[in-house]
Amino acid sequence: MSTVFHVDIVSAEESIYSGPAEFLVAPAEAGEVGIYPHHTPMLTRIKPGSVRIKAPLQEEELIYVSGGMLEIQPDVVTILADTAVRGANLDEAKAIEAKKRAEEAMRDRSSAMDYARAQAELAESIAQLAAIQKLRKRGH
């Protein structure tokens, strides 16, 4: 019985990750889902957050996704992300600024940005900041 499965994470712009994994944790719509080899097939939407991948003989890798779809097959996991960024490439200053803009837009309903869009941008910036905090705790 195999102890790894293949993972592909792609965004509209590029392939972010393609390789083996011992396990993966993703922010599914109903909550975080942990995936090991031979997981039951599943298709779900993902929400903004961190995907954590443990590849054989490597440290756990963190990839921020802003949403998209997660498909699980027994030996292959595919994430089609709206946006995906390796954790090390996240920009904290940009995330903080985006969070402030979204909060202001939500307070000022007469702004050009509609309320639902502001909520989505706020959720994305909060998820990015959480991913940055996870990386800091690990010492990256």
Q: In this structure, are 65 and 133 located in the same domain?
A: no
Q: In this structure, are 41 and 73 located in the same domain?
A: yes
**pLDDT for residue 53:** 95
Tell me the C-alpha to C-alpha distance, in Å, between residue 128 and each of 39, 55, 99, 121: 27, 22, 10, 11
Q: In this structure, are 71 and 108 located in the same domain?
A: no
**pLDDT for residue 85:** 84
Q: In this structure, are 97 and 79 located in the same domain?
A: no
Q: Which stretch of 51-55, 56-60, 64-68, 101-105 has the lowest confidence by average pLDDT?
A: 101-105
| Structural domain containing residue 102 | 90-138
Given 86, 107, 124, which residue is the final one in a domain? Answer: 86
pLDDT tens digits along 63-103: 889 889 999 998 999 999 988 887 666 666 676 677 777 77
Q: In this structure, are 68 and 99 located in the same domain?
A: no
Q: In this structure, are 62 and 108 located in the same domain?
A: no
